[in-house]
Amino acid sequence: MEISISYWIGFLVFVTIMLMLDLGVFHKKDTEVKVKEAILWSVFWISLALIFNVGIYYVFGKHQALDFFTAYVLEKSLSVDNLFVFIMIFGYFNIAPKYQHKVLFWGIFGALIMRAVFIFAGVTLIEMFSWIMYIFGAFLIYTGIHMIAGKNDNEGFDPNKNFLMRWFHKMMPVTDETSSPRFFIRKNGILYATPFFLALLFIELSDVVFAVDSIPAVLSVSKDIFIVFTSNIFAILGLRSLYFALNGIMLYFYYLKYALAGILSFIGLKMCVNEFCAMFDYDFHISNYVSLGIIVSLLTISIIFSVIQKKKA
């Protein structure tokens, strides 16, 4: 599907305006985002994505609209795992709730840029080497199995053991000052990085790690750069408000990792099967209708069983 440059420019202008309004108008002051406010913002971002989806339907057709919606739901569900990491990062660096939105804003801003790079690189690789779909698929299956069988990588979270953190401490002095939400401060003529910047650094690093999973997964839905890019951006734009809305209850999602593992494994299997059938001209294809049904079903089942487990606990 050929997309006019005007659509790209219009979408990027829209995203820029929304980001400016978000930080410069609606969240100009450093205040803690309450759950009710976060839920309203989550509904707002989801509504924007759905309205855009309707526009895709009328402008480009039913098939592209389904691709967008499936990719959006897939990316949204996989990005929930990021929220657990955000909790640990803010807790470790002692970032007060009233300052978390600002750090997340710039973290999401950097994530938008990195996701664009990952998406364009992924689509280019697939166009040049179609067999790379097997590698993407096998990697997603491995990741899904590792999420269940492997140990919890979040236990004993200590950024100081990270190579990047040790390298940064050698390159620049770091202060423990958190009274003002500044990324850098100057003391006695020396420039120091603050815990706010270190938290931002780890948020960006975590997004790179998660993008390695999510981008191949979303490319199984569509290889149309515009559909993949816009669905990813809408999912990420609502990530901040979703974090504050779910912050108090995320620890009760006992079975979420099993749903995410199942989703990744299924998407990986779908990529391999569809590529194999296309390569040998077999009349079989796992559609996005099936993918959407399985994604929604796994998430719903995990939430229901999590609620039951919470009541038992």
Mean per-residue pLDDT of the chain: 79
Q: What is the pLDDT of residue 25?
A: 56
Provide the residue type at 69 as one letter: F
Alpha helix segments (H runs only) across 93-194: 97-128, 132-149, 163-171
| Most confident option among 31-45, 52-66, 292-306 | 52-66
Q: Which region holds residue 120: left if phi is over 0, alpha if psi is between -120 and 50, else beta?
A: alpha
Higher pLDDT, 232 or 92: 232
Q: Among 132-146, 245-259, 295-309, which is the least confidently predicted range?
A: 245-259
Per-residue pLDDT for 144 more than 60? yes
For the segment 91-110, the average pLDDT, to the nearest whole number, is 80
Of the pLDDT bands very low, low, confident and very high (cuts 50, 70, 90), residue 162 is: low
What value does the mean pLDDT take over residues 260-286?
81
On whether the CB atoms of residues 51 and 58 are closer than 8 A, the answer is no
Would you state the pLDDT for residue 204? Answer: 82
Q: Which of 32-41, 66-75, 93-102, 240-249 has the lowest mean pLDDT?
A: 240-249
Cβ(213)–Cβ(82) under 8 Å? no
- Which one is predicted more confidently, 76 or 313? 76
What pLDDT sits at residue 21? Answer: 75
Report whether pLDDT(297) > 60. yes
What are 174's strand-pairing partners?
Answer: 193
- Taking the C-alpha atoms of residue 270 and residue 137, their distance in angstroms, rounded to an integer, is 7
Give CA–CA dist 176/180, Å, rounded. 11
For residue 57, what pLDDT is reported?
A: 92
Report the alpha-carbon distance of residue 264 to residue 246 in Å, rounded.
22
Domain that holds residue 13: 5-312
Task: Please say whether the beta carbons of 2 and 226 come within 8 A.
Answer: no
pLDDT band at 51 (very low <50, low <70, confident <90, very high): very high
Q: What is the mean pLDDT of residues 14-41?
A: 72
Are 42 and 79 in contact, with CB atoms under 8 Å apart? no
What pLDDT is recorded for position 248?
60
- Amino acid identity, residue 286? I
Query: Distance between CA atoms of 170 and 148, rounded to whole angstroms?
Result: 37
pLDDT at 296 over 60: yes
Query: Residue 55's pLDDT is what?
Result: 92
Q: Give the rounded distance of the alpha carbon of 62 from its chain centre.
A: 25
Q: Do 281 and 305 form a contact (C-beta atoms < 8 A)?
A: no
Domains identified in the chain, total number? 1
Q: What is the pLDDT of residue 159?
A: 61
With a CB cutoff of 8 Å and minimum separation 6, the contacts of 150 are: none
**Residue 148 binned pLDDT confidence (cut-offs 50, 70, 90):** confident
Q: How far apart are CA 214 and CA 78, in angstroms?
A: 7
Q: Are 305 and 254 in contact (CB under 8 A)?
A: yes
The whole-angstrom separation of Cα 193 and Cα 203 is: 16
Task: Taking residues 172-183, report their average pLDDT.
Answer: 78
What per-residue confidence (pLDDT) applies to 313?
Answer: 66
Q: Would you say 138 and 267 are in contact if contact means Cβ atoms under 8 Å apart?
A: no
The whole-number pLDDT of residue 27 equals 57
Which band of pLDDT confidence, cut at 50, 70 and 90, is reported for residue 157? Answer: low
CA-based nearest residue to 140, from 78, 67, 68: 78
Percent of the chain with pLDDT over 70: 88
